[in-house]
Structure 1
Amino acid sequence: MGTVYSPSLLPLLFLARVAGLAVAVLVLIWALAFKSSFLTPSLDQQDLLYAVLHPLLMVIGFILLSGEAILVHRWLPGSRGFKKLVHLWLQGVALACGIFGIWTRFQGKDGIVANFYTLHSWMGLVCVSLFAAQVIT
């Protein structure tokens, strides 16, 4: 039937999920509250939405969902095939969040080229590409 988790892991799993939810909420608060410090002040509502979605989708996809996909083999009851299917599904949703998060950065007035002047953007593109290669194979 597979590995069954110890009841002593339940509080730890609960704490990990609460911490993940707190991280997502804090990123959303950070993106909305400090929009004038990392975004140009003349953003319209659509540009603001895209700018807030980028960090939020990256955190939800690559940290929370891929982390949950890693843990699914330890806490989810069921057969090995079922666990692998849930793992694949979570990785796919994480990849979709990452691709959509990158897409949101290209929707601003600056265009695509303006988003590739930093190491952050190039490393992000490499990470998403490697993640996609891992999920596809």
Structure 2
Amino acid sequence: MATLSASLLPLLFIARISGLIVASLVILWALAFQSSFLPPSSSQEDLVYAVLHPLLMVIGFIIISGEAILVHRWLPGSRHFKKSVHLCLQGVALASGIFGIWIKFHGQDGVVANFYSLHSWMGLICVSLFGAQVLLFNPLYL
């Protein structure tokens, strides 16, 4: 059983603090500067859609998948248990990414308007490749 060495504790701490800072900044940006990404006449429903997309993509897709990567270093237990937790966290991250894309499509612009930028295409490709990785390379069977 591999234990967490003392030299990796500061790195793990920095990774988690960085994740919390990023999540806090996204929440602050989404709530405080809502006029930067919404028209002035937006409804409360559009505000929810506009805030949920970045929150789900950053907190769910990036931070949770990062925790899934780190789970092999900090979680005690058997290899099978660690792989099970890793798969569950990757599944939550994938579901968050899919739901984040679905939320963006339900905004006021609709589906087609969201495919005019490189950001939207790269995001869709990233979530698709991540989903293929989770579904095709299931760590429980390796």
List aligned pairs for 1:1-137, cutoff 5 A: 2-137=1-136
CA distance in 2, matches of 1:12, 1:108: 38
Q: Deviations over 1:64-105 (max 9, x none)?
A: 111111111111110000000000000000001101100111
Letter in 1 for 2:68: A
CA distance in 1, matches of 2:114, 2:11: 39
The answer for unaligned runs of 5 or more in structure 2 is 137-142
Runs of 4+ in 1 over 3 A off after TM superposition: none
Q: Deviations over 1:40-73 (max 9, x none)?
A: 1111111101100101110012221111111111
CA distance in 1, matches of 2:49, 2:24: 17
Letter in 2 for 1:41: P
Letter in 2 for 1:125: L
CA distance in 1, matches of 2:73, 2:108: 45
Kindly report the root-mean-square deviation, in angstroms, between the aligned alpha carbons of the 2 structures: 1.1
Letter in 2 for 1:129: S
Identity value in percent: 75
TM-score, with normalisation over the residues of structure 1? 0.94
Letter in 2 for 1:91: Q
In the comparison of the two structures, how many residue pairs are matched? 136
Bigger Cα displacement from structure 2, 78-87 vs 27-36: 27-36
TM-score, with normalisation over the residues of structure 2? 0.91
Q: Deviations over 1:99-127 (max 9, x none)?
A: 11001111112111111111110111010
Deviation at 1:14, TM superposition (A): 2.4
